[in-house]
Amino acid sequence: MMKQLTIFMMVMSISFISCYNASVITDKAPSNVVIDKPWALGFVYGLIPPATIDASQTCENGIAKVETKLSFLNQLVNGLTFGIVSPMHITVTCAVADLGDLNKSQENLFTINKGTELVGIQETFMNAADYAVQSMTEAYVIFE
């Protein structure tokens, strides 16, 4: 009886240690903008999934990565409620703007031509940084 209890406890502890993780990665470059939902609630062992995350307002340039995982605490809640409540951690990483689509006449676009001296490169980056701080928007530096 004691041996069976020990085996049962080992199996239970191993099942709580493991964490489920799935990632979807697109071909877009990730930005610093992240939507993080550590307790997205699903029910009945995930048969009723968590609410949909609408990233269209936050991620204007699309999505670079979506990651879902079950942390230790998510699995603990799932086990304690016998699967009635099955939370998961969802992270959506927004994409940066595709520089190929930028209109080169935009005022937030700063260009460094091939062969530009170091002083010119530093000045262009300083101008881009000043623009970004003053306008509170992004500034792009491209090399041609």
pTM (2 d.p.): 0.60
Check whether residue 23 and residue 90 sit in a common domain.
Answer: yes
Number of Cβ atoms within 10 Å of the Cβ of 26? 13
Average of per-residue pLDDT values in the chain: 84
pLDDT digits (tens, 9 = 90+) for 54-81: 998 999 889 999 999 988 888 889 889 9
Q: Please tell me the predicted confidence (pLDDT) of residue 12.
A: 66
DSSP string across 58-124:
T-TT-EEEEEEEE-HHHHHHHHHTTTSEEEEEEEEEEEPP-GGG--TT-TTEEEE-TT--HHHHHHH
Check whether residue 24 and residue 61 sit in a common domain.
Answer: yes
Check whether residue 28 and residue 84 sit in a common domain.
Answer: yes
Give the type of residue at 61.
N
Q: What contacts 45, CB < 8 A, 6 or more positions away?
A: 78, 83, 86
Q: Which domain holds residue 85?
A: 19-95
Give the type of residue at 28.
K
Domains identified in the chain, total number: 2
Check whether residue 79 and residue 36 sit in a common domain.
Answer: yes
Check whether residue 23 and residue 75 sit in a common domain.
Answer: yes
Check whether residue 76 and residue 35 sit in a common domain.
Answer: yes
The residue out of 72, 95, 118 marking a domain boundary is 95
d(C-alpha 13, C-alpha 64), whole Å = 35
Indicate if the pLDDT at residue 118 is higher than 90. no
d(C-alpha 102, C-alpha 106), whole Å = 8
pLDDT digits (tens, 9 = 90+) for 39-57: 999 999 889 999 999 998 9
